[in-house]
Amino acid sequence: MALNDHLPPSAERRAIRELPDALVSQIAAGEVVERPASVVRELLDNALDAGASQITVRLLSGGVRLISVEDDGTGILPEELPIALKRHATSKIGSLSDLESVGTMGFRGEALAAINSIAYCALLSRATGQKHAFLLDGQTGEIKPVARTLGTTVEVKQLFFSTPARRKFLKADATELAHCVEAVRRHALARPDVGFAIWHDGKLVDQWRRCSDQRNSLPALEQRLADVLGSDFVERSVWVDFASSAPTARTFHAPVIKVWGRAGTPDAARSRSDLQFCYVNGRFVRDKVISHAARSAYEDVLHGQRQPVYALFVEMDPTRVDVNVHPTKIEVRFRDNRDVHQAVSHALSSALAPSRAGNSAGAELDLNLAQDPKIKGSNQPLTPVNAAQSAMKFEAHDVPMGLHVNEPWRPFAGLSEQVKSPVDFSETALTAKASTTAQEPLGHALAQLHGVYILAENAQGLVIVDMHAAHERIVYEQLKAQWHTPLSQDDQHRALPCQPLLIPASLIATPVEMATAERHAATLYALGLEITAFSSKTLVVRTVPAALVEVDVVELARSVLAELSQHDTSTAIESAHHKLLSTLACHTAVRASRRLTFEEMNALLRRMESTLRSDQCNHGRPTWHQISLRELDAMFMRGQ
Ligand code: ADP
Ligand code: MG
């Protein structure tokens, strides 16, 4: 048999025909129903649209033999039962403008028709105000009265019976069941005000009780997240609660994008991206803008390829999001990608910034946000979070040096001081603070271990600090705070104080490095690095940031050039800068095996407490670890 035997015969003209209705529905079903879980999703959407407060899903054989979804919603009138199964029949929209501002989960009016064309369907419903329930047989169209309380049950039997080829694509029952459960979980996370139960082959698989009668209650969401994803998810995550106003040229009023939910702390990240739940106006979606924004917010604190975990709810004016771009509505399109991106990344980074080590973090963050006229913190009533977060704010006299708001902009000033004596933390303010304040989360230094770790005692027990990692983050955050305005070509007056090298350092450069040095000359200059071409293959470094005179100049230039060449400055300028600063910080931070005095160690601990994101180093590795007294007791079998 020739390889191309299965290809259609070449260009032979065939007549154009209209397809029969049943075939049209089966084709539509091909888009909407991939597997039992797709049916579950559509039926759950319908039940939620009908205002259900309790939904029960019953499955047989992974949903292939039976999917039944029972709700206590408003029901369907007997005369409307047959219409519900028709193609393009819906109660949810009636005009194009309805479509543009659709607030229901469904609107295409094709799910039931499609499902009915590939499975045996039955609709059983008692509508509000009706004395009886009626059962419609989807095959015969026969309707008869039956007994039922208010609400609707949709039964779908023998999925794909009429399209056996598609049935062959199904996986083992256990796999299909897992997908069905995932579909219910996705709905359940978005609706803590609705109770859910899933049964499989007569056994209860999962059930989540209704947590509230309000849709957007944060305590209810927390409860539901714990029920569905486990208490571990809640314990290792922080509240996200944010509203941005994003004025655009097209509108006078500022449409608000709200982002709330919970974001996993960096230590909760996983190797797979299976705990990333993201909703737009209540609908579970997979969206590149949102996931990229989330990634970028975690970039600074996650190690390598680790995947963050989060459940994020993005809410905006429905006219600013097109939900009609995908048959199953799992993809959406935003009018303003940039606004959504900014809202999500700001929401997440502000939630993630305060460190566990600090009781005073959050201040710099508020400052940064205040500088951005487009972003303001949410003052929505649904936020017990705000209160907690503002309680964490610095008092003015607590603001550590280098983070002070009113200080004139002195690029790298703190850094250069440190470089003169690389670990000199013992600025008067810090030492004074260290000796007077009692409640220091990271406690007091006891010793330095092998020149690498600081051991400290705090109220909980023992704290172990990786001093290089911690210092690296401190320097990095300090640089970022001083560098909050993105550079542009005409920002050359902002150049960091630089120092000419007595003997300029030359390096053999790749074509990319040569081009980068030329293209980003202004940025390099502003960074305090003057790198010029000496020949077609050689670069010469003439100046370095004054703070960095002692580093390996060639190595520094190479890292900076490598990073500059990888970032399209028009889109990634801030992250490129952060990466540059991170590189600078790494070169500056105190190296291992340097002996610190107690004063220096304590100063480092205090700095960590007042530094954002100080739980992780710039590369996402932890900077400190707590060993509680209880763990120590267990280690020594005390009190057993
Ligand atoms: P859509 O949800 O896009 O409107 P469907 O084919 O899913 O299209 O459903 C068709 C119609 O049947 C819905 O518009 C709704 O009026 C009705 N319907 C379906 N399921 C239910 C339910 N569980 N409770 C009440 N009405 C329902
Ligand atoms: Mg529907």
Tokens 């039962």 sit at which residue?
A: 81
**Contact predicate 459/443, CB 8 Å:** yes
Show Cβ contacts of residue 32 under 8 Å, excluding neighbours closer than 6 positions: 38, 42, 110, 111, 114, 115, 327, 328
pLDDT level of residue 556 (50, 70, 90 thresholds): confident
Using alpha carbons, list the distances in angstroms from residue 597 to 348, 430, 434, 605.
Answer: 37, 14, 14, 13
- Of the candidates 163, 71, 168, 170, the one whose C-alpha atom is nearest the C-alpha of residue 126 is 71
- Ligand 1, residue 71: give the atom nearest the CA: 23
- Of the candidates 37, 34, 142, 127, the one whose C-alpha atom is nearest the C-alpha of residue 82 is 142
- Minimum mean pLDDT range among 16-30, 170-184, 329-343: 329-343
Whole-angstrom distance, CA of residue 54 vs CA of residue 242: 30
- Specify the higher pLDDT residue, 487 or 447: 447
Q: Provide the β-strand partners of residue 466.
A: 453
Cα torsion 577, 582, 583, 584: sign: positive
Task: Give the tens place of pLDDT for each residue, 88-133.
Answer: 899 999 998 888 888 899 998 999 999 999 999 999 999 999 999 9
**Residue 388: count of CB within 10 angstroms of its CB:** 13
Whole-angstrom distance, CA of residue 174 vs CA of residue 181: 10
Query: Rg for the chain (alpha carbons), in Å?
Result: 30
Ligand nearest the Cα of residue 108 is 1
- Of the candidates 119, 189, 202, 128, the one whose C-alpha atom is nearest the C-alpha of residue 154 is 119
- Closest residue by Cα to atom 16, ligand 1, is 91
Exposure string of 263-290, with b = 16+ CB inside 10 Å and e = fewer, is bbbbebbeeeeebbbbbbbbbbbebebb
Using alpha carbons, list the distances in angstroms from residue 81 to 26, 76, 141.
Answer: 20, 6, 9
Report the pLDDT averaged over residues 166-195: 95
DSSP state of 354: S
What pLDDT is recorded for position 488?
Answer: 42
Q: Is the pLDDT of residue 539 over 80?
A: yes
In a mutational test of the pocket of ligand 1, which residue from 40, 67, 90, 155 has the highest number of ligand atoms less than 8 Å from its CB? 90
- Specify the higher pLDDT residue, 364 or 290: 290
What pLDDT is recorded for position 394?
Answer: 25
DSSP state of 385: H
Q: State how beta strands 143-146 and 151-157 pair.
A: unpaired
Q: Exposed, middle or buried: residue 48 (CB in 10 Å: 0-12, 13-18, 19+)?
A: buried
What pLDDT is recorded for position 443?
Answer: 94
Q: Is the pLDDT of residue 159 over 80?
A: yes
- The set of protein residues with a Cβ atom below 6 angstroms from ligand 1 is 42, 46-47, 50, 71, 73-76, 84, 89-92, 106-113, 152
**Contact predicate 53/195, CB 8 Å:** yes
pLDDT level of residue 577 (50, 70, 90 thresholds): low
Report the pLDDT averaged over residues 248-265: 77
In a mutational test of the pocket of ligand 1, which residue from 41, 46, 88 has the highest number of ligand atoms less than 8 Å from its CB? 46
Report the pLDDT averaged over residues 568-580: 49
H/E stretch holding 393: none
Q: Is the pLDDT of residue 375 over 80?
A: no
The amino acid at residue 27 is I
What pLDDT is recorded for position 475?
Answer: 85
Residue 626 sits at φ, ψ, to 5 deg, of -100, 130
What pLDDT is recorded for position 177?
Answer: 97
Q: Is the pLDDT of residue 429 over 70?
A: no
Q: State how beta strands 195-200 and 203-208 pair.
A: antiparallel
Share of the chain above pLDDT 70, in %: 78
Ligand 1 centre distance from Cα of residue 90 (Å)? 6
Cα-Cα-Cα-Cα torsion 300, 405, 342, 222, nearest 10 degrees, comes to 70
- State both tokens at 254: 């500022």
pLDDT level of residue 422 (50, 70, 90 thresholds): very low
What pLDDT is recorded for position 635?
Answer: 93
**Contact predicate 108/93, CB 8 Å:** no
Cα torsion 82, 88, 90, 95: sign: negative
DSSP state of 358: -
- Of the candidates 466, 473, 464, 463, the one whose C-alpha atom is nearest the C-alpha of residue 452 is 466
- The neighbourhood of ligand 2, an ion, using CB within 5 A, equals 45-46, 106, 111
Report the pLDDT averaged over residues 350-360: 79
Polymer length of the chain: 640
- Minimum mean pLDDT range among 54-68, 138-152, 328-342: 328-342
What pLDDT is recorded for position 579?
Answer: 67
- Specify the higher pLDDT residue, 561 or 253: 561
pLDDT level of residue 361 (50, 70, 90 thresholds): very low
Task: Give the tens place of pLDDT for each residue, 306-341.
Answer: 899 999 999 999 999 999 889 889 999 988 877 888
Ligand 1 centre distance from Cα of residue 46 (Å)? 5
Residue 439 sits at φ, ψ, to 5 deg, of -90, 70
- Closest residue by Cα to atom 23, ligand 1, is 47
Ligand 2 centre distance from Cα of residue 46 (Å)? 5
H/E stretch holding 117: helix 111-118
- Ligand 1, residue 110: give the atom nearest the CA: 6
What pLDDT is recorded for position 548?
Answer: 64
Quote the strand ranges of 509-602, DSSP E: 530-535, 538-545
- State both tokens at 108: 């295409």
Task: Give the tens place of pLDDT for each residue, 384-412.
Answer: 333 233 322 222 233 233 322 233 323 33
- Minimum mean pLDDT range among 64-73, 229-238, 360-369, 521-530: 360-369
Q: Is the pLDDT of residue 372 over 70?
A: no
Q: Exposed, middle or buried: residue 116 (CB in 10 Å: 0-12, 13-18, 19+)?
A: buried
Share of the chain above pLDDT 90, in %: 50
Show Cβ contacts of residue 633 under 8 Å, excluding neighbours closer than 6 positions: 639
